[in-house]
A and B are shown apart, each in its own frame.
Chain A
Amino acid sequence: MNPPKFPLLSRLFHWVMAILVVTMLYVGVGMVSTTSPRYHQLLTAHESIGILILVLVALRLINRILNPPPPLPADLPSWQRALAKSSHVLLYALMFALPLVGWCMLSAAEYPIRLFDTLRLPSILPPDPHVFARLRAAHTVLAFTLFAVFLAHLGAALFHGLMRKDGVLRSMS
């Protein structure tokens, strides 16, 4: 019997965004650690991909509402069910929050933002260094949180695929 699968569009969103989000986490942690020419290249890529993720996650949320995910296995313990649900809420919240906080903090710091070397992004907050400082700190905390939630998500996916063999991993592949 074939286990239920995510719709094709949902799987496409998942894997494209998985690559983008994980790449962004590495780009972010790498760029703030260097004074080499890579700093500028990574920063430019970070800003562009960040806004791309914001657009994609909004579309993805709409798609999720229109094409709901398949149900979890009926025999999944309730605590794992609750963890799965809350970690997905957290993943979506962080995928929205990180680019928005990034955009807000660059606005508050009066940094112009140019995407893919062409598109100028408007400022969405009035200049204020204290607001920038808080948002900049929040951006780091949220990014490390997202990395931790990603690891939990990855571990859980492998747990389903390798141990429970309950079709949850296959539903996204």
Chain B
Amino acid sequence: MTQDAVRPDGDAAAAFFALLRGHPGQTLAIALVIAAFVLSFGYVGGFFSSTRLSPNRFVDALEANSGHFPGFRRAHSKGICFSGGFVASSAARSLSSATVFDGSLVPLIGRFALANGNPYSNDAKTPVRSMALSLRPAHGDEWRMANNGTPGLPFGTPEAFYQLVLAGTPDPRTGKPDPEKMRQYVAAHPEFTAFGERLKAHPFSSGFADDSYGGIDGFIFVAPDGTRRLVRWSMQSEDPFTSFSPAQAEGKSANYAFEDLIARVARGPVKWKLVATLAEPGDPNVATELWPEERRHVELGEVTVDHVESEAPGNCRDVNFDPLTLPSGIEPSDDPLPFARSAVYSTSFRRRAGESKTPSAVAGQSVSSPQ
């Protein structure tokens, strides 16, 4: 009975394969066409490449370097959310046609963070901080930024950053990075030493509110008349700068910088000037090189932060501050880093989005400035 049930299919298959055997040349041709598509698809997808720097490889390296903390960002993992507003200057409107520069009050959200990959870092041991922003005009394109509190970066290309992450990754046998690997990296990358010198000359601020944050990368501002300019921007703190000293954090909690920020916002709004620096022809568009101080600076407007709250569902926790989420009127330049940042942040976001969440180090806080 079973035999009868399968026989028609068996006959059909036998007839089909007999047809293939009767046309060996055509069968081979079809197989080759299909193989060509499969192989080219695999080639484009990097399935046969052991060297292509894919975002997955990059995020794997970040996780190996800092440890795997499910649900958290793979970099700048310890953070707090904020909201506020931005009002542009008229000078901004002459540089870029972006809607965020129309001079009206643009609502914004953002995130302050420590610039490393451990969500439970000690604030006093990580004085490099970041300020991510998402400007959300009621009518017009959103603008996301991921700004860093360092004078440029120690690497200018995604490959150099990847090698740095690898060199600093703890050896599974010793639990510590191999000093020889770091020596080799430093020898091969003079820009790393140059950055270290700049960092020494650039004192860290005491906390988030008196820190200034640079956009690091070069972007193109497109003016209403079509003029294209290479710019970098930075958030200049209006709070008086106080330099960080490890002694000041002595006896304070591991979250002292976040707690100070919450207390500061409770006293009143905190403000930053958003300033653009305009490149001159020949200025290097790479994050390892600063532009000369005398370059023209244009005040684009003022950012006000009047509310901070712990990371929670639906706030900045669930936003990917992709530096290539740009409004019409601001475009990527030939600086290679933002493209890699965009790709890697996206993969970090994809991974953490699917992971179950645990509360952030600074949990349960929500404070607004008095009106």
Contact = CB atoms under 8 A, between A and B. Distances in A.
Interface of A: 25-26, 29-30, 32-40, 43, 77-80, 109-112, 114, 117-118, 120, 127-130, 132-134, 136-137, 147, 150-151, 154-155, 158-159, 162-164
Which among A35, A117, A150, A158 has the highest number of chain B CB atoms within 10 Å? A35
A129 to B, nearest CB: 4
A39 B46 CA distance: 13
A40 B41 contact: no
19 contacts: A32-B55, A34-B54, A35-B58, A37-B336, A37-B339, A39-B343, A40-B332, A77-B16, A80-B16, A109-B353, A110-B320, A111-B325, A114-B141, A117-B328, A137-B354, A154-B33, A155-B30, A158-B26, A163-B26
Contact of B54 (A33, A114, A147, A159): A33
B314 interface: yes
Given A37-B339, A40-B332, A133 B353 contact: yes
Given A33-B44, A37-B336, A163-B19, A151 B37 contact: yes
Contact of B41 (A29, A36, A130, A155): A29
B53 A35 contact: yes
Contact of B319 (A37, A110, A133, A162): A110
Given A33-B44, A40-B332, A151-B34, 10 more contacts: A30-B44, A33-B52, A35-B58, A37-B332, A39-B343, A77-B15, A109-B349, A114-B328, A118-B328, A162-B23
Given A33-B54, A162-B26, A79 B9 contact: yes
B343 A34 contact: yes
Nearest 10 interchain pairs by C-beta? A133-B354, A129-B353, A33-B46, A29-B45, A35-B340, A162-B26, A133-B353, A39-B343, A30-B44, A37-B339
Contacts of B52: 33-34
Chain A binding surface, main DSSP class: helix
Contact of B44 (A26, A35, A155, A164): A26
B353 A132 contact: yes
Contacts of B336: 36-37
A112 B326 CA distance: 10
Nearest to A118: B328
Contacts of A127: 314, 318
A44 to B, nearest CB: 9
Interface residues of B, number: 51
Which among A30, A40, A132, A147 has the highest number of chain B CB atoms within 10 Å? A40
B26 A35 contact: no
Contacts of A159: 30
Contacts of A111: 320, 322, 325
Contact of A129 (B23, B318, B338): B318
Contacts of B53: 34-36
Interface in B327-370: 328, 332, 334, 336, 338-340, 342-344, 347, 349-350, 352-354
Contact of B29 (A36, A130, A162): A162
A141 to B, nearest CB: 14
Nearest to A27: B44
B12 interface: yes
A24 to B, nearest CB: 12
B141 A112 contact: yes
A44 B336 CA distance: 17
Which among B26, B33, B344, B353 has the highest number of chain A CB atoms within 10 Å? B353
B3 to A, nearest CB: 18
Given A36-B339, A154-B34, A163 B45 contact: no
Nearest to B351: A133
Interface in B6-64: 9, 12, 15-16, 19-20, 23, 26-27, 29-30, 33-34, 37-38, 40-41, 44-46, 52-55, 58
A151 B38 contact: yes
A54 to B, nearest CB: 22
A134 B339 contact: no
A162 B354 contact: no
Contacts of A25: 41
B131 interface: no
Contacts of B325: 111-112
A124 B40 CA distance: 34
B324 interface: yes
Given A35-B344, A37-B339, A136 B350 contact: yes
Given A114-B141, A162-B30, A163-B23, A34 B46 contact: yes
B191 interface: no
Interface in B246-280: none
Nearest to A117: B328
B354 A158 contact: no
B29 A33 contact: no
Which among A30, A36, A147 has the highest number of chain B CB atoms within 10 Å? A36
